[in-house]
Amino acid sequence: MRRNRKRSESRSRNRNHGRTRARAADPAEPAEPSRPWWSDLPEAPAGSEWLDDLSDSEVERELKKRERAEARAARRGRRRRPRELTAEERAYLEARRKANARMGFLFHLVPYAATCLFLLLVAGFRAFLSVAIFWGIGVVCHWFAVQAPELRRRWVEDEVNKKLTTSVHQERRVLKTEHNRSVEELTASIAHEIRNPITAAKSLVQQMGEDPRAGENIEYAKVALEELDRVEKSVSHLLKFAREEEVRVSDMTMSDVIEAALDTFQDRIVALDVEILKDLDSRGAMRGDPEKLRRVIINLFSNALDALEQSATVGPRVEIQAGENLAGTEVWVRIRDNGPGMEPEKVEKIFKPFYTSKANGTGLGLAITKKLVDAHGGSIEAVSQPGQGAEFVLTFPKAGPSEASASA
């Protein structure tokens, strides 16, 4: 309290003294109120209102104290965050270090050689040999110290290259083994898928040849044609799976794709009396190929109807949901049925070519579906349990496929 009262009295005396001098200088002009010295600065420091309660000397001391504190903080900051050297500066420092090390070795080698020569000429061979051996050990150690960093760098690079080469060879060997195994499995699947119908058709044709006038020949011919149609269908699906199709990216909405896909199944939905539950949270605006994505939805919806029809599910139902993630960067689609479901080991194989659980399936539908989804930079997941139906979840980036995956 006393200190504040003294400050107030001091400021009052200063202001009164200023007014007195102003009136003495020009009695006719009104005196201007005295202002603190820091008010003439171009910009007052932020939060400087507290200065009004201090005298001029105290304000000056406080500001100097703050300036010193800021300077110390800046110096500490510079020490903590040194400037990163450029590639040229690093190369120069490395070259300078090597040059200094070599010059140091040279300053050691020249006196050694001169001393040995002097001893050989003056003191004789024995003195020369003793000094040359013991001092030579120091010279050799000095030379090794100069060359040690370079040798260490070369040895490290050699070891790293050996490890990387071995690792690359192992990875190539593993990839080659997996590729060969995949080719073998695909080849066996193709041979099995094509050979069986052809064998059956051949057997029927042979029976027709044994008795051309038999009444069963018409039925045999019909079955043979069905088997050949199955072969043709398998080959057609295989070509679609192997062919690289261009993905024509454009602005589209997932809701329109879903509606267009469902329109192709209206008659079948009515015939099977399937309940369709749609829950589209948003239109799902994104960039993609609407025709390719329509094929994806058609294939998944067709599989759901096939499962419901073959199992004769009571109260068949298919749910279709679509929306966007919270970040607004992806569009997702969920297709779920209440059919018989699948065992976990079957779920792991459904995306492999020629794997099918249908009597007349080719096993390429879901493989093609996954390929089209991958071409859009998306993902597809299958979840199923026996007796609990099957669920497929599709996820696509709204920005569309990257340039690297612009073809399927």
pLDDT recorded at residue 336: 93
In one-letter notation, the amino acid at residue 175 is L
Give the C-alpha separation, 148 to 145, whole Å: 5
CA distance 142 to 134: 13
Helices first, then strands: H and E counts in the chain? 10, 7
CATH code that applies to domain 188-242: 1.10.287.130
**Helix/strand/coil for 288:** strand
Rounded CA-CA distance 238/27 in Å is 109
Domains 188-242 and 250-405 in one fold = no
* Alpha helix positions (H), 211-289: 217-242, 254-263, 266-272
What's the half-sphere exposure (Cβ side, CA atoms, 13 Å) at 168?
6
Is residue 375 within 8 Å of residue 405, measured between CB atoms? yes
- Write out the two tokens for 238: 């295989």
* In the chain, where the domains are located: 87-174, 188-242, 250-405
Q: Which conformational region is residue 397 in: left (phi greater than 0), alpha (psi within -120 to 50 degrees), or beta?
A: beta
Residue 394 pLDDT: 93
Q: What is the pLDDT along the chain (408 residues), one digit of tens a residue?
A: 444 444 555 555 544 544 444 444 444 444 555 555 555 444 444 455 555 555 666 766 777 787 788 778 777 665 555 567 677 877 877 888 888 888 888 888 888 888 888 888 888 888 888 888 888 898 888 888 888 888 888 888 888 888 887 777 777 777 777 666 666 666 666 666 677 778 878 887 887 877 777 777 788 788 888 878 877 777 776 676 666 667 888 999 999 999 999 988 888 888 888 899 998 888 889 999 999 999 999 989 988 998 888 888 888 999 999 999 888 899 999 999 998 888 888 888 888 776 776 666 666 778 888 888 988 889 999 998 888 889 999 999 998 886 434 444
**370, amino acid identity:** K
- Which homologous superfamily does the CATH classification assign to the domain defined by 250-405? Histidine kinase-like ATPase, C-terminal domain (3.30.565.10)
Largest CA distance in the chain: 145
Can you tell me the distance from the alpha carbon of 54 to that of 10, in angstroms, rounded to the nearest whole number?
A: 10
> Taking Cα atoms as reference points, which of 321, 322, 334, 317 lies closest to residue 389?
317
In the block, residue with structure tokens 């042979």: 206
Antiparallel, parallel or unpaired: β 390-397 and 379-384? antiparallel
Structure tokens at 381: 């997941």
The pLDDT value recorded for residue 404 is 39
